[in-house]
Structure 1
Amino acid sequence: MIGDHILVLPGGGYEDLAAHEGEPVQKWLERAGVAASVCPYPVNSRHPLPLEAIRAEIRRVREAGAERIGLMGFSAGGHAAASAALAPGARPDERVDAVVLGYPVVSMELETHAGSRRALLGDEPADNLRAQTSVDRMVTPQAPPFFIWHTAPDDAVPVEHSYRLASALARAGVNHEFHVFAEGGHGLGIRDVPLGAVVWRELCERWLGTRGWLPREV
């Protein structure tokens, strides 16, 4: 048995996987006391291929003995993580138990982030496809708990994305924690984080600890 496990999904606009949002995050989680690995979901691939690949990795980790599986995603990786957690049609062994999102792409109906939308859905996706792939529209009362953080000055993926998801979680009565920091831009990961936002890791560790994901509450 390997106990609990968190899959890390880097950002990169569905065109690349940002290295600083992958292995460094994995190592931080492991130092905190939870097993983790980077999930190399396919990029430059149209929907639903990334979703299917993430669900396959969830099944693989569960078959290896994970009792609970969490997802931690950043930017477009946040959209991928939230999709895997919320999209309908998941098998019982593909469901996850917690989701952590940093400055996530949430809505494909907003004009931003156009690069992620283009890479995932094509140049001119139909309105119904944009709606179907907007994770704020996927929330149900059965969703797992979420921890979300964003920065107010983010001009690549505006904080409106996270507000939409947090509002949907609140309406559905889903347990969640949501932080917006006054400083910082996009793509911060765990490096070069401004003073105001650097506490996201401490807050996240506390959130995970209170749910039994860490060896002790931090």
Structure 2
Amino acid sequence: MTRIVEAGSRRNMLKAAALLPVVAAGAARAQAAPPSDLLVFARDTREPDLVLPLWPEGKMPGGPIPAMTERVDDQTDNAGLRYRVAEHVTRPTLSFFAPTANPTGASVLILPGGGYSRVGIDREGYETARWFNAQGIAAFVLRYRLPADRWGGGALVALQDAQRAMRLIRAGGRWSVDPKRVTVLGGSAGGHLAISLCVKVYDRTYPVIDAADRLLTRPDGAILLYPVVSMGAGAHTGSKLALLGPDASAADAAAWSFDQRLPGITPPIFLAHAVHDRVVPVDHALALFGAVRGSGGAVDMHLFEDGAHGLGLRGDPAWPMSDWPNLARRWQVRNGLA
């Protein structure tokens, strides 16, 4: 089932309302905060309850490790909000945020963006985790390795980390979650990584290390925010260069593009994008929508006239796009993922 919402004019909103009675019904069931309240989670200083190394010592695939030093660029944005970004990640980690009220058993794996050359920590990461926690959902933020650093494993290293993270979440141990209600959320290049996790479900990207590596990597749903989709024509130049290098072949680009017909294995998808996104064109979202539809998959696509790339929870409250967490929440409820 496919639903499209285009926000930005009264006429389009009325058309969308006629198309989406089920979303209106779902709103009554969802616990939601108005967009102006979302900044509460950005201002919060709560750090993860637990930070785990992703791989056992000496077992990390994708080597050799490039000669570099991992660092965190710790800045403050114009609104006074903390904006940390990790660079040259050599020890990928999974940060766990326990639900703060009424745990539901559902969980989300968050893959922040950064063009495959950096990976966000606060915006799209910890802030979003805190919001999900308030809805009773356990949240995990992945600090993944970056293909731009030219690992021996090339483009695969980020996907290796994402697959391992999904398996560890389902394996449990230090947390208790329903292994059949794990959503992945990704923004920008993190959205591309999330799509890769949804599509390359049969790709064994590393040898089995332990019992967790026998668990499924396919998410049960995907929330994609302004995602990079294609590495071919119209690719986001920075992400393509970081992922595939300067001499990528057409075959390499095709292997990491999701704008053509996809295998019919993708989970339900929630897709949000601003029409005037100046970083990743809205054509990426439109192409993914067509590809999922062509495979018979389920996708809710929300297009917004006003918005910004990488807004996370920090969007202008006047923009309908800033309400994406509440829209995603309703989608999760409807799909049994909350």
TM-score computed with the length of structure 1 as normaliser: 0.92
Alignment of 1:30-179 (within 5 A): 30-43=133-146, 44-45=148-149, 46-64=154-172, 66=177, 67=179, 68-90=181-203, 93-137=216-260, 139-179=262-302
Q: Which has more radius of gyration? A: 2
Aligned to 2:118: 16
Is the 1:112–1:156 contact (alpha carbons within 8 Å) kept by the matching residues of 2? no
Aligned to 1:28: 131
Structure with greater helix percent = 1
2:265 and 2:217 map into 1 onto residues whose CA distance is: 14
Structure 2, gaps ≥5 residues long: 1-103, 204-213
1:134 and 1:212 map into 2 onto residues whose CA distance is: 29
Percent identity over the alignment is 34
Higher mean C-alpha deviation, range 174-183 or range 186-195: 186-195
Backbone CA RMSD of aligned residues: 1.8
Which among 159, 178, 182 is matched to residue 305 of structure 2? Answer: 182
Higher mean C-alpha deviation, range 35-44 or range 47-56: 35-44
Shift of 1:88: 4.8
Matching of residue 195 in structure 1 with residue 297 in structure 2: no
1:95 and 1:183 map into 2 onto residues whose CA distance is: 32
Shift of 1:89: 2.2
Higher mean C-alpha deviation, range 11-20 or range 88-97: 88-97
Shift of 1:107: 0.3
Structure 1, gaps ≥5 residues long: none
CA-to-aligned-CA distance 1:165-206 (integer Å, 9 cap, x gap): 011111111111001100022111111245221221221110
Deviating above 3 A after TM superposition, structure 1's stretches of 4 or more consecutive aligned residues are none
Is the 2:259–2:287 contact (alpha carbons within 8 Å) kept by the matching residues of 1? yes
Higher mean C-alpha deviation, range 85-94 or range 138-147: 85-94
TM-score computed with the length of structure 2 as normaliser: 0.60
Shift of 1:137: 3.8
Higher mean C-alpha deviation, range 150-159 or range 56-65: 56-65
